[in-house]
Structures are given as C-alpha cells and as structure tokens.
Structure 1
Amino acid sequence: MEMDIITRKVIACAIEVHKQLGPDLLESTYESCLVYELLQVGFSPLNQVELPISYKSVCLDAGYRLDILLPKSLIIELKVVEKLLPIHTAQLITYLKLTDIKTGLLINFNVSRLVDGIKRIQV
C-alpha cells in the first residue's frame, strides 16, 4: 500500500479516537484506542515494541519502545503534551534510523483539533 494512503488512514483513525475521547487523557488510553481503530480498518499494529540496538555486534536492550508499529511501513509515536518539541521529533527520527523504516507519524492528542498535533517525518 502506498505510504500516503497508509498515513491518511492512520490519521483518520487518530482523528476518530480524538473525536471520541477529546484531549487530556493518558497516552496509554489513546494508544489502546488507536490500536483498536487500526485493527478495525485492516492494519496489523503492534504496540510497545521493544527496539534493541546493535553495539559491537551485540544486540542490547537500551530501553527504546515504539508506541505503535505498522510492520515494515510506519512508526507512530504518541504524545500528550502542551506542544510538540524538537526532542519529540528527534526521538522519532532515532526510531526510524534504528529500524530502517522511512516514515513516522508524531501525534499529540493534547490539542483542540488533532490535525494541529500531527507531524509526518521521513528520513
């Protein structure tokens, strides 16, 4: 499936979650609901995926966890913050580089209109 179509479908699912719940809940609540919505439209999302690093040919758990992964295509990083900061973008870029996935969505649910809290990142 083309990446633009995938990201549009994911954003539509996120908008549905935000429409139902509004802002100001826990990130884990939005994550669970977004995973549910993604399953409903035919995706196979994985959540809280451990992301080890390779160091001197050894695979190490460095504590990285992907909020939601659409295998081989998209990383979705969720936030519930006053505003997205450069460190949030850097976090997603790190995840993209460590996985060789080229596209990620950074979604902040703590906004009045969800479209104002979405950032698409490509590496």
Structure 2
Amino acid sequence: MINPSYKHSELTGKIIGCAMRVHRILGSGFQEVIYQRALAIELSENKIPFEREKEMPVYYKGEVVGSRRADFLVENVVAVELKALSLMEQSNILQAKSYLEAYNVETGLLINFGRPSLEFKRLINGKYKW
C-alpha cells in the first residue's frame, strides 16, 4: 500500500511550483481571487488539468448534506484551498482538513500567498473512503 503522504506528491509538487511562480511575480498583498486567477493561468500553461471554483458535495455519514466550492480540484484527486493571510493559523489548517473529509478527497493543499514567502501545507484525509 502506498503511504498516503506520498501518493500524489509529484502532482502536489507541480502545483506548489506553479504557486511559487505566482508568488514570485505578484508578491503578497493582493486579495485571494487575484492569486486564484493567476494560479489558474500557471496550471493551464503547465498543462495540469483542474477545475476552478469546483462545486463539491459535502458528505455526512455517507449522505450529501450540502455543497461548497473548492478553490481548485486538480486532476480530480487534489483539492487546493488558497489563502491570502498575513498569519495562517491552526484553524485554517483544521478547516482545510475538514473540507477534505467533507468532500471525501484524499489529498489537499493549503496555500497562503499573504506572507513574504509562500506558505503551503500538504494535507491528507485520514478518513478518506474509496
């Protein structure tokens, strides 16, 4: 069995590389939507399939109880949540992990453009169901 933290590491590495290019060009200080649009351009230029503002069902005990938009769903396997915060807190990480569980997506990335250096966190959904 593949260790979940490595399962999509090549893809998450490509996504992080795209985010780094966006951050290098734009820097910090813009609203999240600006970074979202710029990252969409980078992903497209790098031929990485994605859906932006993907409407995702939210599950509770196997039943759909609502929906939420993921910033990106990349190759149908990695949910990407963007932030533009001067300080990313534990609550942001917990929220992103909750989204993975609610979407039933195995792998996620939380990317923060709001600091002088790009911040990112790879996330694994420990409750993922095949």
Q: TM-score range by the shorter chain?
A: 0.7 to 0.9
Cα distance change, pair 87–6 in 1 and its aligned pair in 2 (3 A): same
Partner in structure 2 of residue 118 of structure 1: 120
Count, aligned residues: 119
Q: How does 1:13-24 map to 2 (within 5 A)?
A: 13-24=18-29
Q: TM-score, normalised by structure 1?
A: 0.85
* Letter in structure 2 aligned against 1:79: K
Q: CA deviation at 1:57?
A: 7.8
User: Cα deviations across residues 76-99 of structure 1 (Å, max 9, x unaligned)?
Assistant: 110011211122112211221122
1:67 deviation in Å? 0.7
Name the residue aligned to 1:10. 15
**Alpha carbons of structure 1 residues 44 and 24: separation in structure 2 relative to 1, 3 Å:** same
Give the unaligned 5+ runs of structure 2: 1-6, 126-130
Q: Using the alignment, how far apart are the partners of 1:42 and 1:94 within structure 2?
A: 29
Matched with 1:97 is: 101
1:54-93 → structure 2 map (5 Å cutoff): 54=59, 59-62=64-67, 64-93=68-97
Tell me by how many angstroms 1:66 deviates.
0.5
